[in-house]
């Protein structure tokens, strides 16, 4: 005995996707973005979904995702989507869980194109004013009869920097104060 094939309801006859289902999908996407290394964007997306702003309010959803229109296709796709069966919903959620791994290669390639962080040790004198103050102090000590090496050593100890840092600062100050020749 063979069972007669039952006709599947066409997608046009199916009920539109429920707001709760949209919310589940958007929350899953938010969690995927958080796992992919975008915690702020993922959290914004989840909050937009929880507040019910999700997919019916285009601006809040789009601004929640990276502040751009990059994922408007998802929005349009969900609006035109029929209510999925529980199995289809599980498949959609499983796809959302793959997003962090799918983003890995493109993000790795993008990361290689970004500039490196500035290297080196933090500056001892944070501002030009601090440098000028230290150099003025060197000048004061020299005015009191100390030689340049002794004055630099004294100021370096006083400012808690190395002698070499103080020498560089002094040289830089000398270059700054050198009259410009035209």
Picking from 106, 136, 160, the residue at the C-terminal end of a domain is 106
Which spans in the chain are helix H? 19-35, 39-50, 58-64, 72-79, 86-113, 128-143, 148-159, 163-177
Question: 145 lies in a domain?
Answer: yes
Count the domains in the chain.
2
- Residues 133 and 91 occupy one common structural domain: no
Query: CA nearest 17: which of 90, 63, 104, 85?
Result: 85
* Domain with 133 in it: 128-177
Quick: pLDDT tens for 77-119. 777 778 888 898 898 888 888 878 877 777 777 778 878 777 8
- Residues 24 and 94 occupy one common structural domain: yes
- Residues 96 and 145 occupy one common structural domain: no
**d(C-alpha 162, C-alpha 142), whole Å:** 19
Question: 55 lies in a domain?
Answer: yes
CA separation, residue 19 to residues 82, 117, 132, 176 (Å):
11, 44, 64, 66
- Residues 95 and 26 occupy one common structural domain: yes
What confidence category does residue 150 fall into, taking pLDDT thresholds of 50, 70 and 90?
Answer: very high
Question: 9 lies in a domain?
Answer: no
- Residues 78 and 155 occupy one common structural domain: no
What confidence category does residue 74 fall into, taking pLDDT thresholds of 50, 70 and 90?
Answer: low
Please tell me the predicted confidence (pLDDT) of residue 5: 43
**Under 8 Å between Cβ of 111 and 43:** no
- Residues 93 and 147 occupy one common structural domain: no
- Residues 63 and 141 occupy one common structural domain: no
- Please give the backbone phi and psi of residue 167, each rounded to the nearest 5 degrees, phi first: -65, -45
Q: Whole-model pTM?
A: 0.44
Question: 87 lies in a domain?
Answer: yes
Question: 53 lies in a domain?
Answer: yes
Question: 24 lies in a domain?
Answer: yes
Question: Quick one: residue 95, left, alpha or beta (phi over 0 = left, psi -120 to 50 = alpha)?
Answer: alpha
**Under 8 Å between Cβ of 73 and 138:** no
Question: 42 lies in a domain?
Answer: yes
Question: 32 lies in a domain?
Answer: yes
């Amino acid at each position: 005995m063979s069972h007669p094939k039952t006709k599947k309801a066409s997608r046009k006859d199916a009920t539109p996707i429920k707001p709760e289902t949209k919310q589940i999908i958007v929350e899953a996407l938010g969690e995927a973005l958080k796992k992919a290394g975008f915690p702020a964007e993922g959290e914004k997306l989840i909050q937009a979904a929880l507040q019910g702003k999700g997919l019916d309010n285009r601006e809040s959803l789009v601004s929640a995702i990276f502040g751009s229109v990059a994922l408007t296709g998802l929005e349009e796709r969900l609006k035109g989507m029929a209510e999925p069966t529980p199995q289809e919903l599980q498949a959609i959620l499983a796809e959302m869980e793959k997003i962090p791994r799918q983003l890995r290669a493109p993000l790795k390639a993008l990361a290689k194109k970004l500039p490196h962080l500035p290297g080196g040790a933090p500056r001892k004198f944070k501002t030009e004013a601090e440098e000028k103050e230290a150099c003025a102090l060197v000048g004061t000590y020299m005015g009191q009869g100390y030689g340049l090496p002794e004055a630099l050593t004294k100021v370096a100890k006083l400012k808690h920097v190395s002698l070499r840092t103080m020498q560089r600062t002094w040289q830089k100050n000398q270059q700054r104060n050198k009259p410009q020749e035209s």
